Every structure is written in structure tokens, then in C-alpha cells.
Amino acid sequence: MLEETDLIIKKLKKETNEISDIVYREKYICGKKIYIIYNEPLTSSDKISEFIIKSLNELSKDKVKDNLLKTISNNITNFKYEIIDKYDTLCFYLHRGFTIILIDGEKEAIVLETKGSIKRSISPPENENAIRGAKDAFIEDYQTNIGLIKKRIKTNDLWIDNITCGKYTKTQIGVISINGIVKRELVEIVLKKIKEINIDGIINSDNIKNLIENEDKIAFPTILTTERPDIVCNCLLEGKVAIVVDNSPYVLVIPTMLNDFFKTIEDLYGKSINVSFTRIIKYIAFFISILTPALYIAITTYNQEMIPTDLLVSFATQRDGVPFPAFFEAIMMMIAFEILRESDIRVPNPAGSALSIVGALILGDAAVSAGIVSPIMIIIIAITAISSLPFSEFEFTNAIRLYRLIFMIGAAFMGLIGVVIVGIFFIIKLASTKSFGKPYLIPFSPTYIEGLKNSIIKFPLKNLYKRRSFLSNNTIKRSVKHEKN
């Protein structure tokens, strides 16, 4: 039960250092004192004046025959209210934009939703280009993000488990799944991990991501981060779980496998043969981005016998006068490229692109002219950099960068044998990784036939009538199997 009204006011002022943003308005109704308390930056003054003050003024003209708390709650014109009886709950609602009505002598209080509009409008996605899909993206408002999902999935089976996390931020987190499709044990695992978090504050969804995944186990992400509602809805229909975090425009999707980073939502809209070709190109780009510098270092340093004579003479001519070994060449150029990439990301857009283009041209030309690096090394690094561009997930490209360096170190010490040894350990690491209990390399390892239909090669949509059983309830089918014409 709540304390006396004056004691609550005194305690609240002391804890907030009598901050001027919190407004305490004293009012009398039928000779009884009430307090109207609200956090001014978070509330709408129009809502307070129109719904609360106006209703209380009308009420004060009449004699209150019933309990005042009950009378106010029944006659207030605000559409959403709640009766509370704990001080911590009162503070929780106060800092979320609700208005509190305290009545002298009552052990309960009324909270009324009067949130102000301090959010930006829905805009197109910035980092995940929507070619043929929807043009809306998540924003920093929790309810809006939930609405973008509910707008697409209209069913009572869309379940949302709400959790509050963070000692000071009290961040609202929603764990979303589709009942009947998702395996409930997956939802329970996610909820358990989030409830175990004990931290001062959650500012962004990436805080949750880093706390619930084993980020020290592997560099590749095991949780997908997306700003597009259509991607989240498609994942929910597959049997995955989404995590929406207040004040974050990015939603987390669990679990995520390696193959998921080679697919896009636009794949659902394209012809299977065209989509399959695009995915093959992405896999080729993935291996080029990781292996190309290592293979060049290996064959030019240890395994020259594998190079055709004419090509070997060309390489030797280009490297004539270069004082550094191929490994050191590659390291220098990769560092220079990464510096340019970071500059392009951090510098404001109008200057960023021009800076990176001019910097790359001048740096490459000057390095070759000065005899520091060979022209072929510029080509190798350029091909490597371009091959990492098809992947939009930031953590995924960072993982490619790390393993590229590891392959280069293996090539520098043992040539092609070193590349093979590192490759074996690389595959073992991926195969032993799990994303919330699901193998990271599925459907390739372990092999899952139904999942292979939409992995590298995409089968026609009418043939993808079964859900993947390792994700969803196997008794639920995506659609009725179509008969062949």
C-alpha cells in the first residue's frame, strides 16, 4: 500500500533532487486534496489539459457520493488508466510519460497515459536497401515497432512476452513469437537469458545481443540484427523469435545460421533461378573475400611451382624493386583500406564518399609509384574489399575481416598447407557453433533435406510447403502442397 500523500511527495522530491521537470499540481475536489504529478518532457500538455484537468473541473462541480478514487477513475475521459498501490510502480509509470493522481487519505493512486510525441516518423531503411520490399523501417519507439509487426501478422497467435531490464533505464523488451509455429522451448530459453541480465541500463538492442549470445565463442554473429519489419515477420513465420527493445530501431532475430546471411527478403519475390544465381555469387564472394590475399601470399612465397610460367614472370616483374614480402604488403594495404572504410562510415555522408574514393585512388597510385607495393597487390586487395560488400550485416563483415587475417598468417608461415590447416580449423569452429541450441551450419551440417531447398539453390515457392522442423512445430505446414499441372 502507498504511504500518505505528503510523504510520497516529499520522498519523490528528495529522490529526484527536486528537479523542475516533474510538476506537482495541487487541486481540491469537494474539499479533498489531490495531487497531479507528471514528468513534463515526457508528457503531452494538451492531453493533460483536455482529458484530466477538464474532467476534474467538471467533477468538482458535483458532489461526490461514492469513493473519490473510484469516482475519478470512472469519470475521467482518458482512454487508458490503471490503479496502483506501490511506490516503485508509481515511479516506473512517472518516468514513462504517465500522469499520476494521488488522493489524500487513499492507499492507491491512478496512473493515466499522457505520453508526448517525442519520436521520429517512420522512414525507409538506411542500411538494408529495400529493392522490391516494403519501404518502412523500425524506429526508436517500442509501440510503433510492435505495430509495424502486427500490421503484417494479424492473428491472436502473435504472442508478446514483456520484460523490463536495466536498473536505471527500466527498458521495455518484447519477446515476440507465433504460437503454434515456434517451439516453445526456444522462447523459454530466450526469456530465461534476458531475465538473468543484471545491468545498470539497456540503451540499445545490441546490449541485449551481446549479453545473451556467446560473443567470445566465434566472431560470426549468431543473432540477426535488422531494421526491416518484413524480414522480422518472415522470420517469425519460419518459427524464429524476435526481440524488440525500446529506444532501438533494430530488432533481434533468434536463432540465426550462417546461411541466413546469404539470403535476403527480396529472394521471396524473385524467380528461383535468378535468386539461386545471386546466392551462388554471394558464396563465391564470401570465399574470395576470405581466401584471396592468403592464396596470393602462399603461391608467391612458397608455392611458385603452381603458377604458370608466363604469369610467374609477370608477377616477378611487377614485384621487382618492392622491398617488402607479400605478407607485409598485404597487411599494409589492408590497414590502409580499413582506415578509409572507417573514415567513410564516421565522416558525414557528403564528404565521406568523396574522401574514400579520392583517398583510395591517391593512396594506391602513390604506393605503386613509390615502389612500396606491387600493382598486383592493389588488385588483390581491391577484389577482396569489393567481395565483402554484398553483405550488409556489420558483424558479419567484421568476422570476414578477422578470418581473412588468420588465413593470411597461416599462408605466411606454411604456404598452401597453412591455408588448408587454417581452413580445417575454420570449418570445425563453424560446425561446432550453435545459435541457441541450433547448429550454425544447418542445413549443410547436419544435412537437412527440406532446408536445402531454400539454401544455396532456391526451389520454386510452391514447392516450399513444409516448414523447417528444426525451427518450428513439425505438425504445421506452410501451405497445402500444390499438384503438378
Residue 482: pLDDT over 60: no
Element holding 82 (H helix, E strand): strand 81-84
Alpha-carbon span 262 to 240, nearest angstrom: 17
Residue 200: pLDDT over 60: yes
Q: Where are the alpha helices (DSSP H) in 433-479?
A: 449-452
Residue with the three cell numbers 490503479:
83
Residues 6 or more apart whose Cβ sits within 8 Å of residue 327:
297, 301, 408, 411, 412
Give the side-chain half-sphere CA count within 13 A for 198. Answer: 1
Residues 6 or more apart whose Cβ sits within 8 Å of residue 159:
176, 177, 178, 179
- Say what the pLDDT of residue 63 is: 59
- Say what the pLDDT of residue 227 is: 93
DSSP state of 244: E
Helix axes 326-346, 272-301, angle to 10 degrees: 140
% pLDDT > 90, the chain: 39
Residue with the three cell numbers 510525441:
117
Per-residue pLDDT tens digits for 275-328? 999 999 999 999 999 999 999 999 888 888 887 888 778 777 777 777 788 888
**Residue 245 neighbours by CB distance under 10 Å:** 26
- Say what the pLDDT of residue 479 is: 58
Alpha-carbon span 414 to 420, nearest angstrom: 10
What percentage of the chain's residues is helix, strand, coil (to nearest 5)? 50, 15, 35
3-state secondary structure (DSSP) of residue 409: helix
- Say what the pLDDT of residue 132 is: 79
CA 100 and chain centroid, separation: 34
Query: What is the chain's mean pLDDT, rounded?
Result: 85
Per-residue pLDDT tens digits for 135-166? 899 999 999 999 999 999 999 999 999 999 99
- Say what the pLDDT of residue 326 is: 85
Report the chain's terminal Cα–Cα distance, integer Å: 70
Q: Where are the alpha helices (DSSP H) in 240-271?
A: none
Can you give the length of the chain in residues? 485
Highest-pLDDT range among 52-56, 380-384, 422-426: 422-426
Q: Is 298 exposed, middle or buried (0-12, 13-18, 19+ CB in 10 A)?
A: buried
Beta bridge partners, 112, equal: 81, 99
> Do 253 and 263 touch, CB atoms closer than 8 A?
no
> Hey, what's the cell of 394?
556489420
**Residue 333 neighbours by CB distance under 10 Å:** 23
CA 457 and chain centroid, separation: 27
Long-range Cβ contacts of 427-435 (<8 Å, 24+ apart): 429/218, 430/218, 430/220, 430/258, 433/217, 433/218, 433/220, 433/222, 434/222, 435/213, 435/222, 435/223, 435/254, 435/255, 435/256, 435/257
One-letter amino acid of 194: I
Query: Which of 196-210, 298-312, 350-364, 409-423 comes out lowest in average pLDDT?
Result: 350-364
The CA–CA distances, whole Å, from 415 to 291, 334, 483 equal 12, 19, 54
- Say what the pLDDT of residue 49 is: 85
- Say what the pLDDT of residue 188 is: 93
Average pLDDT on 328-342 reads: 83
Alpha-carbon span 122 to 110, nearest angstrom: 32
H helix count then E strand count, the chain: 17, 12
Give the side-chain half-sphere CA count within 13 A for 132. Answer: 8
Average pLDDT on 409-435 reads: 93
Alpha-carbon span 226 to 18, nearest angstrom: 40
**Residue 65 neighbours by CB distance under 10 Å:** 7
Identify whether 443 is preceded by a cis peptide bond (ω within 30 of 0): yes
Query: Which of 46-55, 74-83, 347-356, 379-388 comes out lowest in average pLDDT?
Result: 347-356
The CA–CA distances, whole Å, from 222 to 41, 132, 410, 438 equal 38, 26, 26, 10
Nearest by Cα to 98 from 42, 151, 52: 42
Helix axes 394-414, 272-301, angle to 10 degrees: 30
% pLDDT > 70, the chain: 92
Tell me the residue ranges of DSSP E strands in 145-304.
158-165, 171-178, 224-226, 241-245, 251-254
* Confidence band of 61 (pLDDT split at 50, 70, 90): low
- Say what the pLDDT of residue 139 is: 92
Query: Which of 119-133, 265-279, 356-370, 419-433 comes out lowest in average pLDDT?
Result: 356-370
- Say what the pLDDT of residue 333 is: 84
Alpha-carbon span 114 to 118, nearest angstrom: 12
Nearest by Cα to 158 from 167, 144, 146: 146
Identify whether 375 is preceded by a cis peptide bond (ω within 30 of 0): no
